[in-house]
Amino acid sequence: MIMAQKTVLRKPLGFIDVYKHKPGAEKDRTHYCPGCGHGILHKLIAEALEDFDIVDRTIVISPVGCSVFAYYYFHTGNLQVPHGRAPAVATSVSRANPDSIVISYQGDGDLAAIGGNNILQAANRGENMVVFFVNNAIYGMTGGQMAPTTLEGQKTTTTPYGRNVKTDGYPIQVCEIINQLTAPVYVVRTSLHDMPNIRKTRAAVRKAIQNTRDKKGFSFVEVLSMCPSGWKMDSVPAQKWIEENMIPRFPLDTFRDISEDTSAIERPVPVMDPEEVKRILEYTALSDSNLEKNPDAAFDRVAVRIAGFGGQGIMSTGIALANVGMEYGYNVSWLPSYGPEMRGGTANCSVKIQADTIGASECTEPNMVIAMNQPSLEKFEKILVPGGALIYNTTLIDIEPSRTDLKVYPIPITGIADELGDTRVQSMVNVGAFAAVTGMFDPGEIENLMPSLFKGKSGEVMKLNEKAVRKGYEYVKENFS
């Protein structure tokens, strides 16, 4: 129908006019080999985007593989993502902006090998996206190695005697697997091996993109495609090769099409109710504490990196600071980062406490570092902003900080805790020191918050921790005022 209205068939507007992102002089042509099926499928997609007038609403996710540079060509929003992860990134794009039309464009190595789980999970969730799966039975970009879809007996650089199912397994039929899941609305396999099938592919491309536009959910279009270079043959014989060798293993079929009977998906709208968050975090009892922020505080916002050995109270310092910050009505975040060993190794966490909205929760440019051991001092001193505060544990660190543009607070943190009779209270010594350095928290108020910070703990434990806060606070006041 739409064909009949066209008066000229020319480069579709879904493509960028001049491929300005492509390096080198050849900005008027693609990087694909002669006769490569990618270009044909690109054209069908670009044409559909123009015809449906949705170029501006579309985001194409480029994979790793020969189509890694798809973003050179499509006049859409573009993202290029790690190998096999396109469906995960497409999920986040689609969820963050449900009106966008998200296209995950993937090859067989990307989708069926390393990305095998990603595609299944996205399909299973019925994400509103279209996946174009280019199956050319080989790793093209890396020079023709065996792919999950390589045919039995097919020679590749890594199967020089042909794929042997006894050692290499069978070619994976991805449509058939996707079709086992409940959520997908459209699952189809087409081919580029002759004109009738290119036209069928065109129809499938259009239907899948319309499904996404109409928010029907997950559409999956597998396209058998020529890789003349990888197969070491000319383009027209490559089309014949699809017909004779691929189609018997990968039958062309519409495995599922329930798009007509499917209405637009409606997902529960995420609610961000601060009261509900407090309830989930069990803060109801204190939600009316309404502590006054100190207008004369030396800091009005803190991005602190707390680091040391596992077991030095790194994480509990962070959690306590974030909790107290929350009671003062700040936005807070706490992001732990462990070494692979969890215990005994090094650990650090990022805490942000600020009045405005927090973006990234990792403190890459902290204005405070609390270093509990020497490796942490050496590592995190470097990333402090000029003028930032460096609190470090002189019980375990016998070197001096090397920077001179910082405010330094050498404190025997572990020693103070030991004197109180329990090394574990180092984290509350830190909290006290933090309160003194920043002026953001009042130590008396922190004492009032003890029941919530140490829920279920005995009065003795709370008393000890109160003392630790006091000691940390007083040490700073006495030594650095």
Partner 1 sequence: MNENRKYPFSEIDPDICKGCGLCVAACPRGVLVVSEKLNSKGFHYSEYVGEGCIGCGNCFYTCPEPSAVTVYLRNYVPEEVS
Summarize as ranges the residues that interact with ligand SF4 (CB under 6 A). 32-33, 36, 38, 66, 136, 140-141, 227-230
End-to-end CA distance of the chain: give it in Å, rounded: 81
Instruction: Supply the minimum distance, in Å, between the C-beta of residue 206 and partner 1.
Output: 13
Asked if residues 470 and 432 have their Cβ atoms less than 8 Å apart, the reply is: yes
Query: Could you tell me the two tokens for 144?
Result: 């023709």
Question: What's the gap between Cα 354 and its chain centre?
Answer: 25
- Strands, E, within 122-250: which ranges? 129-135, 186-191, 218-224
Per-residue interface string for the shown chain with partner 1, residues 155-194, x marking contact by CB under 8 A: ---------------------------------------x
CB proximity list for 379: less than 8 A, separation 6 or greater: 307
Interface residue with partner 1, options 63, 115, 171, 228 (CB under 8 A):
228
Does 325 bind partner 1 (CB under 8 A)? Our answer is no
Choose, by CB under 8 A, the member of 1, 2, 7, 160 that binds partner 1. Answer: 7
Residue in 22, 46, 60, 93 binding partner 1, rule: CB under 8 A? 46
From the list partner 1, ligand SF4, none, pick the one residue 20 interacts with, judged by a Cβ distance below 5 to 8 Å according to partner type: none
Cα–Cα dist 208/103, whole Å:
10
Name every residue whose Cβ is closer than 8 Å to that of residue 213 and which is 6 or more positions away in sequence. Answer: 52, 54, 101
Cα 257-151-34 angle, rounded to 5 deg: 85
- Which of partner 1, ligand SF4, none has residue 455 at its interface (CB below 5 to 8 Å by kind)? none
What is the C-alpha to C-alpha distance for residues 285 and 415, in angstroms, rounded to an integer? 34
CA distance 331 to 351: 10
Min dist CB 39 to partner 1, Å, is: 3
Question: Judged by CB, which is closer to ligand SF4: 137, or 368?
Answer: 137
Tokens standing for 480? 């650095």
Q: Shortest gap between Cβ of 14 and partner 1 (angstroms)?
A: 9
Q: How far is the CB of 29 from partner 1 (least distance, A)?
A: 5
Tokens of 74: 């499509």
Instruction: Tell me how far, at minimum, the Cβ of 25 lies from partner 1, in Å.
Output: 11
Q: Which two tokens mark 181?
A: 């899941």
**How many of the chain's residues bind partner 1 (CB under 8 A)?**
36
239 near partner 1 (CB under 8 A): yes
Is residue 28 a contact point for partner 1 (CB under 8 A)? yes
Alpha carbon distance 96, 105 (integer Å): 19
Shortest Cβ 33–ligand SF4 spacing (Å):
3
Q: Which residues in this chain contact partner 1 in the complex, by CB under 8 A?
A: 3, 6-12, 15, 28-30, 32-40, 42-44, 46, 73, 194-195, 198-199, 202, 228, 234-236, 239
